[in-house]
A and B are shown apart, each in its own frame.
Chain A
Amino acid sequence: MTQASGKDTPLAEAIKGTSLGRDAWLRLRKNSVAMGSLYFLALIILLCFVFAWFCKNPNTILLTNKFASPSWQHWFGTDQLGRDLFSRILYGGQISLLVGFVATAVSLIIGISYGAASGYAGAKTDALMMRIVDILYAIPFLILVIILKVVVAEPIDISAQWTVEQWGWNKELVMRSANILPLFIAIGALGWLTLARITRAQVIAIKNQEYIEAAISLGLTRRRILFRHIIPNTIGPAIVYASLTIPGFILYEAALSYLGMGVEAPNSSWGILIKEGANFLETQPSLLIIPGLVFSLTLFALNFLGDGLRDAFDVRSSKD
């Protein structure tokens, strides 16, 4: 892989070679769709998490100004209660994106640990652990997410109230987080199955390589081998796959919110905006179309970027 070819290349650089990450980045840079998606996502994240602080309060109700058309004051117009649609979209985006990223992080942690443990243990433990994954696979996902979400919501609510009363934490902030936490848990706790399979396959492939054999012969402990030498090498593919689950999770959140089982006021999300917009479709189609468009474009970008990352990290594809 590492080539010291070309006379004009400085020796140091040639010896350094190129890492997998750098190769992947070079390949990704050539994929214009993926790069466009990356810039678009960066813009959306910047708007939602930074620019939003300078926007109008999304919960300010002004009934005299409902269904206003877009203007300098209200870039996307206002909704049925006179709230500024632009800032509602930005604040709603915070929740939607957070659910996608945090739930993915949760499932990444569970999936990697489970898959690595299963693959490294091998033999009967492995067979049993994978059978469990097979069984969980056959269970209707959304149904369990809904039930689990309802179950975990209560204790989280109680402990949120407790922190407010005992430690005097900011009530609004705590309550808002308490409302979205069950979603992270419910989606993340059930979304790790494919990740576990991918990690396991990866671990089994690595386990049989010579450098692991060398590590064993050096007398390293099993735990050290697993955590220092195996898991770090599985994280790349797992993260690439995980990037493709983000849009899926965002979609789940929107679906749950649409059914009235997701986030609740004062929180809002793109799912909520779309649901509310659908009620005024005949009189004010922009209330559905603008959030729907932002939502779909973001999912587009996430999917294209995920596809691009997968292609870029695909080690089988040649270096060029």
Chain B
Amino acid sequence: MIRYISSRLLQGLLVLFALYTITFFLVKAMPGDAFTGEKNIPEDIQHQMREQSGLNDPLFIQYLNYPKNILLHGDFNYSIKKRRPVAELIAQSFPASLILGLIALIFAITIAIPIGVISAMRKNTWIDYSGMAIAMIGICVPAFVVGPLLQIHIATRIPILKIAGWDSPIDVLLPAITLGLATAAYLARLTRGGMLEILSQDYIRTAHAKGVPLPRLIIMHTLRGGLIPSVAFIGPAFAALISGSFIVESIFQIPGMGQHFVTAIFDRDEFLIIGLALFYGLLVVIMNLASDLLVGMLNPRARTSES
């Protein structure tokens, strides 16, 4: 087990390094840099700022120095446009994205798993069809349609909800619903598929024939196997919810990481772009590992069959 985890962690490091390499060279290939359009900074000051962040070094030295500084000093360099350390910007905006992603995930799980289970139990009935139709709506109606509709029809009618902003805990509600809808939809479909797979197995038929009552059959015998695809999906989905919330953050004006990423792209703020991309990558790696471990616990066969 420890060997498995350590080999996966090593692979995760490889992923991060590959991600770093790709983003580094892509960012360097972007037209313009953070100083383009900054006419009010005198040339020599610009030169000093470049010098300070190591931007005057040869490309290959820069490529090696950045990860070295991260590993040795935890230094993610500066955001040139915002003139603050990248690590500080991430630390400040991460909580909002994390809370938003977490609530969205909880929302998705609480509605999707029951819908998926019930749809599978009542396969090819109107309950199944309507459940899956609702799931399809979640996949096909994008956040930038749902968000504004929720703002105008829900937020304006219920006094404690605000149209946008991030001050009181209740403000997370509408953005989280908007963000979690698509995840909920995929999860419901996966849960249904996983449950159907297990329900067609012989041991379920045996249990049924033995007279195991239905609730017990579902909870004790089917869920464990039937939820495996969903569990495998939840980890990456959580990372995607945190890293993919640019749109929801911009609709509801939430001070999260997504907004930093979008402005950093427009500003060519290279260290911020690389830092955020790496941070997102780290989240994905951790979540993938977590959900693989969880799947391994649910399904002993997966541990040996996968390298």
Contact = CB atoms under 8 A, between A and B. Distances in A.
Interface stretch (A108-116, A145-153, A215-223): A145-153
Nearest to B242: A140
A147 B23 contact: yes
A304 B136 contact: yes
Contacts of B30: 147, 150-151, 154
A138 B14 CA distance: 10
Contacts of B148: 278, 281, 288
Nearest to A285: B152
A144 B261 CA distance: 12
Contact of A299 (B15, B27, B140, B261): B140
A140 B277 contact: yes
A153 B152 CA distance: 36
A12 interface: no
Interface string A28-59: 00000000000000000000000000000000
Contacts of A128: none
A275 B144 contact: yes
B245 to A, nearest CB: 10
Interface string A274-301: 1100100110010010001001110110
A303 interface: yes
Contacts of A258: 144, 247
Contacts of B284: 138-140
B246 A259 contact: yes
Contacts of A285: 152
A274 B247 CA distance: 13
Nearest to B32: A154
A135 interface: yes
A179 to B, nearest CB: 15
Contact of A138 (B136, B137, B273, B288): B288
Given A138-B288, A140-B281, A292-B145, A261 B136 contact: no
A255 B247 contact: yes
Given A142-B244, A295-B142, A300-B140, A147 B281 contact: no
Contacts of B136: 300, 303-304
Contacts, number: 112
A254 interface: yes
Contacts of A140: 239-240, 243-244, 277, 280-281, 284
Interface string B146-162: 01110110000000000
A281 B152 contact: yes
Given A259-B250, A275-B144, A147 B273 contact: yes
A138 B152 CA distance: 37
What is the interface of chain A mostly: helix, strand, loop, or mixed? helix
A194 to B, nearest CB: 13
A72 to B, nearest CB: 28
B204 interface: no
Nearest to B156: A282
A303 B140 contact: yes
A143 interface: yes
Interface residues of A, number: 40
Given A135-B14, A139-B22, A300-B136, A259 B141 contact: no
B26 A148 contact: yes
A297 B133 CA distance: 12
Interface residues of B, number: 46
B162 to A, nearest CB: 15
Contact of A135 (B15, B247, B276): B15
B187 to A, nearest CB: 16
A6 to B, nearest CB: 31
A92 interface: no
Contacts of B144: 254-255, 258, 271, 274-275, 278
Interface in A137-189: 138-140, 142-144, 146-148, 150-151, 153-154
Interface in A237-295: 247, 251, 254-255, 258-261, 271, 274-275, 278, 281-282, 285, 288, 292, 295
Contacts of A136: 18
B34 interface: no
A265 to B, nearest CB: 17
B262 interface: yes
B34 to A, nearest CB: 14
Contact of B15 (A138, A143, A281): A138
Contacts of A299: 139-140
B42 interface: no
B273 to A, nearest CB: 7
B29 interface: yes
Contacts of A261: 262, 265
Given A153-B31, A247-B140, A299-B139, 10 more contacts: A134-B15, A140-B281, A147-B27, A261-B265, A274-B142, A274-B145, A296-B142, A303-B136, A303-B140, A304-B136
20 contacts: A134-B11, A138-B12, A138-B15, A138-B285, A139-B22, A139-B281, A142-B246, A143-B261, A143-B280, A144-B22, A144-B26, A144-B277, A147-B26, A147-B27, A254-B144, A261-B262, A275-B144, A281-B148, A296-B137, A303-B139
Interface of B: 11-12, 14-15, 18-19, 22-23, 26-27, 29-31, 136-137, 139-142, 144-145, 147-149, 151-152, 239-240, 243-244, 246-247, 250-251, 261-262, 265-266, 273, 276-277, 280-281, 284-285, 288
Q: Which 8 residue pairs spanning A and B have beta carbons closest together? A: A299-B140, A292-B145, A154-B31, A278-B148, A138-B15, A140-B280, A296-B140, A296-B141
Interface of A: 134-136, 138-140, 142-144, 146-148, 150-151, 153-154, 247, 251, 254-255, 258-261, 271, 274-275, 278, 281-282, 285, 288, 292, 295-297, 299-300, 303-304
